[in-house]
Amino acid sequence: MIQFAWPWAFILLPLPYLVYRLTAKVDQREDSALWVPSLTPFALAKTGQPAPAKQRWRLILAILCWLLLVIACARPQWLGQPVELPVSGRDLMLAVDLSASMQAQDFEINGDKVDRLTALKAVATTFIERRQGDRLGLILFGDKPYIQVPLTFDHITVIQLLDEAVIGLAGKQTAIGDAIGLAIKRLKKQPDNQKVLILLSDGANTAGTITPEKAAELAQQVGLKIYTIGIGADSMEVGSFIFKRTVNPSADLDETMLTYLAETTGGQYFRAHDSQEMTQIYHQLDSMEPVEKEKKIYRPISALYFWPLGAALILCGILLGSRIIRRRP
């Protein structure tokens, strides 16, 4: 659909005729020295005298030229089809532990033993796909935290870079406090009710410069809500076929610290012993932090003024060219 940004420009359409009327009165006086050659076509049309063929097409070109210039001044625009824009309900950051302990194979997917990170990727991918309308970011941490994906509506990139994460990429230890500090830095300027951090870890804070307790206080001050998820089974069998023993692969999991982080910031601590529980946790997070349903509609606008302007310039060139040719001896 075509619309005009400045429709009032069309009041300029009769301007050449008005100028002609004013100058014609001056031309009627015998001593008048004023002659406006550019208005000659309009004068011929006004007198009703039969004009030569050349004068007629010059008049038509002059009228078309002025019409196109006025249309260009009115700024014609093409209004495109409505487009639904994503609206950020929340800025949600995922912080994923890549320490060496995440390679423990105490999870199962379709009956096959997998390590903790592989199980996390499978469940988190489905969660990310459901968060349409939220901006998501990804922090990977080990010895130090790193922003793998800044906040973005591009969920496909978040899923892809999470899938490419490998254990030990950020170091073998666990800097939980520093990971929270990095999330605070990225989210502190956002509204309080829209800042959420989901932190997934299978151990305790063993590295970094900020303690988890101090990080929790800072998060509370900026209104960052933290949901913590402790990953790992309580027991698993290790050893050969003959000599097996049962161990607790989550012995190093600091649930007290993870619970404190969540409660201090208004979030909640979850315990994921297996893939099924992790899936249920993400469903709970969906219900606790629902995706905003508000939508914004945008209609793209494309400027069209250069088309009538270009056509008017071409016609002006033709008129000037014909005048120069006519004046040659």
pLDDT band at residue 106, thresholds of 50, 70 and 90?
A: confident
For 255-274, the pLDDT digits (tens) are: 999 999 999 999 999 999 88
What ranges in 103-146 are assigned the alpha helix state H? 116-130
**Ordered domains of the chain (ranges, CATH):** 2-80+299-327 (no CATH), 86-288 (3.40.50.410)
Beta strand pairing status for 91-97 and 135-141? parallel
For 197-233, the pLDDT digits (tens) are: 999 998 889 999 999 999 999 999 999 999 999 998 8
For 270-314, the pLDDT digits (tens) are: 999 888 888 899 888 888 776 555 567 777 888 999 999 999 999
Structure tokens at 307: 């088309």
Dist CA 177 CA 144 (whole Å): 10
Beta bridge partners of 112: 109
Query: Does residue 34 carry a pLDDT above 50?
Result: no
Work out the burial of residue 112: count CB atoms within 10 Å of its CB; fewer than 13 is exposed, 13-18 middle, 19 or more buried.
Answer: exposed
- Select the more confidently predicted residue: 238 or 41: 238
Query: Does residue 235 carry a pLDDT above 80?
Result: no
Query: What does the radius of gyration of the chain's CA atoms come to, in whole angstroms?
Result: 37
The DSSP string of 166-187 is -TTTT-SS--HHHHHHHHHHHH
Beta bridge partners of 297: 84
**Mean local confidence (pLDDT), 31-39:** 48
pLDDT band at residue 75, thresholds of 50, 70 and 90?
A: very high
pLDDT band at residue 111, thresholds of 50, 70 and 90?
A: confident
Query: Does residue 31 carry a pLDDT above 70?
Result: no
Query: Does residue 322 carry a pLDDT above 50?
Result: yes
Beta strand pairing status for 2-4 and 269-272? unpaired
Dist CA 243 CA 261 (whole Å): 40
pLDDT at 29: 52
% residues pLDDT > 90 (the chain): 43
Structure tokens at 233: 């089974």
% residues pLDDT > 70 (the chain): 80
The residues near 227 (Cβ < 8 Å, ≥ 6 apart) are: 196, 197, 198, 199, 262, 267, 268, 269, 270, 285, 288
pLDDT band at residue 125, thresholds of 50, 70 and 90?
A: very high
pLDDT band at residue 68, thresholds of 50, 70 and 90?
A: very high
Dist CA 321 CA 243 (whole Å): 102
Handedness of CA 70, 74, 75, 79 (dihedral sign): negative
3-state class (DSSP) for residue 25: helix
Across the chain, what does the average pLDDT equal? 83
In the 8-state DSSP scheme, what is residue 132?
T
